[in-house]
């Protein structure tokens, strides 16, 4: 009977260790998933219920969020004086007063890059901004790991709010996501309205064998809500390794717009970039090249289908070469293929794009818009010099001649 007793003893020890490991695993918070953070739309009712108006203060007033300072849950249609407060989506959002903040702890994968998408609107002030950051929740609690001020001065559409994206690299596996109003207004209840906070883990696509451009089709980017038809604005970001648009920098002081095929005309795939605000909206990438070798920069240029007033044109740069391209509408297509030949001067070459004009929509004359680019490629062109449009005009001419014959 001794062997059976030993077997039972070891079985009991094994089951005890297994239960302890399961308890530890259960106690650990799960990794954040792509999409809305918990109560990221602020539609979960506080324990005391939603109020018609009024300022609330305290960490337990907004479910799943901690707050500090003058924080207000606002309702859709709520008035302040003669102004109706704008709630981007749903029935509720959060307004941050002077120096006020909301925060939520997230479990992330250390070393990975995440993009945070959020909707924001301004209220009283003309120069409002929002600071979004991630901070440590470990030994040095409160230490800011990454931070960015997003300017809300420019309204890119007449709806009064815009979705924005900001990226960070997770330096720890447990961080605190913070939204703060850094402004100091005369009215302490003035401040930006925040709504629809989502997160997405980003992956840098592999560089294709025949293309030096990373993420040239723009398929990898920030979280986009299917029920939002405004795209996502990408503010200035000079670090291509920590970007909401992997591989790309936004160099200028105005944003560019990340658009989807559900709401815009996209040349290929599901995503593209719309260039806004002329020279103030530049995207660029440093690509690997070989000095003194000929290359071709090609891309799709088109109309987003958002009633943007023509003419539409972009300026394209490849090393020391620059050329502007006008989009010419075609009956059977909303885009065309164009290209620029250049000779590389070094082992890395900058390619960049901006809109030549400051375009607005024809239906409201104030919403900013512009040309769309997609399918950006850079490859070794050998001794051949291929002109813009890849000989499109020559091909059409040949076909016409054949047709006449």
- Alpha carbons 328 and 302: distance in angstroms, whole number: 8
Is residue 9 assigned to a domain?
Answer: no
H or E element at residue 11:
helix 2-27
What total number of domains does the chain contain? 2
The region of weakest confidence among 120-134, 158-172, 198-212, 216-230 is 120-134
- Alpha carbons 239 and 237: distance in angstroms, whole number: 6
Which of 150, 175, 201 finishes a domain?
201
pLDDT tens sequence across 96-130: 988 999 999 999 999 999 999 999 998 887 778 99
Averaged pLDDT, 1-23: 51
Residue 137 · residue 174 · CB < 8 Å: yes
| Res 394 pLDDT > 70 | no
Which of 201, 225, 244 finishes a domain?
201
- Alpha carbons 153 and 235: distance in angstroms, whole number: 12
**Same domain membership, residue 216 and residue 196:** no
* Bigger pLDDT: 339 vs 381: 339
Is residue 77 assigned to a domain?
Answer: yes
- Alpha carbons 59 and 351: distance in angstroms, whole number: 47
Which of 168, 201, 234 finishes a domain?
201
* Alpha carbons within 13 A on the beta-carbon side of 45: 6
* Bigger pLDDT: 385 vs 344: 344
**Residue range(s) defining the domain that contains residue 69:** 30-201
- Alpha carbons 46 and 20: distance in angstroms, whole number: 35
Pairing of strands 232-234, 101-107: unpaired
**Same domain membership, residue 335 and residue 276:** yes
DSSP E strands in 217-261: the ranges are 232-234, 249-250, 256-260
**Structure confidence at residue 14 (pLDDT):** 53
| Res 93 pLDDT > 90 | yes
| Res 400 pLDDT > 80 | no
- Alpha carbons 118 and 87: distance in angstroms, whole number: 12
- Alpha carbons 225 and 238: distance in angstroms, whole number: 25
pLDDT tens sequence across 36-86: 999 999 999 998 888 765 445 444 489 999 999 989 999 998 987 778 889
Peptide bond preceding 274 in cis form (omega within 30 of 0): no
**Structure confidence at residue 366 (pLDDT):** 87
| Res 154 pLDDT > 80 | no
165: its two tokens: 């994206």
**Same domain membership, residue 280 and residue 174:** no
The region of weakest confidence among 75-79, 153-157, 242-246 is 153-157
For position 215, which CATH number holds? 2.60.120.260
| Res 143 pLDDT > 70 | yes
**Structure confidence at residue 217 (pLDDT):** 97
Tokens 């070798």 correspond to what residue?
A: 293
**Structure confidence at residue 9 (pLDDT):** 54
For the chain, the helix, strand and coil percentages under 3-state DSSP, each to the nearest 5: 10, 40, 50
| Res 5 pLDDT > 60 | no
**Same domain membership, residue 313 and residue 194:** no
* Bigger pLDDT: 353 vs 389: 353
**Structure confidence at residue 59 (pLDDT):** 46
**Same domain membership, residue 159 and residue 91:** yes
**Structure confidence at residue 389 (pLDDT):** 42
**Same domain membership, residue 162 and residue 75:** yes
Is residue 389 assigned to a domain?
Answer: no
**Same domain membership, residue 102 and residue 134:** yes
pLDDT over 90 for what percent of the chain? 63
| Res 211 pLDDT > 60 | yes
What mean pLDDT, rounded, does the chain reach? 85
Highest mean pLDDT among 28-32, 39-43, 207-211, 399-403: 39-43
**Same domain membership, residue 376 and residue 363:** yes
């Amino acid at each position: 009977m001794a062997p059976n007793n030993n077997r039972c003893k070891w079985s009991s020890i094994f089951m005890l260790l297994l239960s302890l490991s399961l308890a530890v695993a259960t106690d650990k918070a799960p990794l954040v998933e792509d999409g809305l953070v918990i109560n990221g739309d602020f539609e979960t009712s506080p324990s005391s219920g939603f109020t018609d108006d009024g300022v609330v203060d305290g960490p337990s007033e907004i479910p799943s969020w901690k707050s500090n300072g003058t924080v207000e849950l606002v309702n859709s249609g709520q008035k302040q004086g003669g102004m109706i407060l704008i709630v981007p989506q749903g029935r509720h959002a959060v307004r941050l007063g002077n120096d006020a903040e909301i925060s939520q702890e997230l479990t992330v994968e250390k070393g990975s890059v995440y993009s945070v998408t959020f909707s924001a609107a301004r209220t009283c002030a003309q120069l409002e901004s929002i600071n979004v950051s991630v901070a440590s929740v470990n030994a040095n609690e409160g230490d800011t790991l990454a931070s960015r001020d997003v300017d809300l001065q420019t309204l890119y559409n007449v709806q009064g709010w815009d979705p924005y994206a900001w990226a960070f690299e997770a330096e720890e596996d447990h961080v605190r996501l913070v939204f703060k109003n850094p402004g100091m207004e005369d009215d302490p209840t003035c401040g930006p309205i925040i709504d629809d906070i989502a997160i997405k883990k980003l992956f840098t696509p592999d560089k294709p064998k025949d293309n030096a451009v990373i993420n040239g089709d723009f398929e990898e980017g920030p979280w986009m809500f299917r029920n939002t038809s405004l795209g996502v604005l990408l503010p200035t970001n000079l670090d291509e390794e920590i970007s909401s648009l992997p591989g790309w920098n936004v160099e200028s002081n105005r944003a560019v717009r990340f658009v989807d095929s559900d709401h815009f005309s996209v040349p290929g795939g599901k995503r593209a970039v719309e260039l806004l605000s002329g020279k103030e909206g530049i995207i660029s990438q440093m690509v690997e090249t070989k000095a003194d070798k000929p290359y071709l920069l090609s891309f799709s240029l088109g109309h987003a289908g958002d009633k943007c007033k023509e003419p539409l044109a972009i300026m394209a740069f490849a090393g020391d070469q620059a050329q502007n391209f006008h989009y010419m509408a075609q009956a059977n297509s909303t885009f065309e293929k164009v290209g620029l030949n250049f000779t590389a001067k070094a082992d890395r070459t900058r390619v960049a794009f901006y809109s030549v004009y400051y375009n607005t929509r024809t239906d409201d004359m104030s919403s900013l818009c512009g040309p769309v680019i997609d399918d950006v490629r850079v490859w070794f062109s050998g001794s051949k010099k291929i002109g813009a449009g890849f000989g499109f005009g020559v091909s059409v001419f040949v076909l016409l001649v054949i047709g006449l014959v």
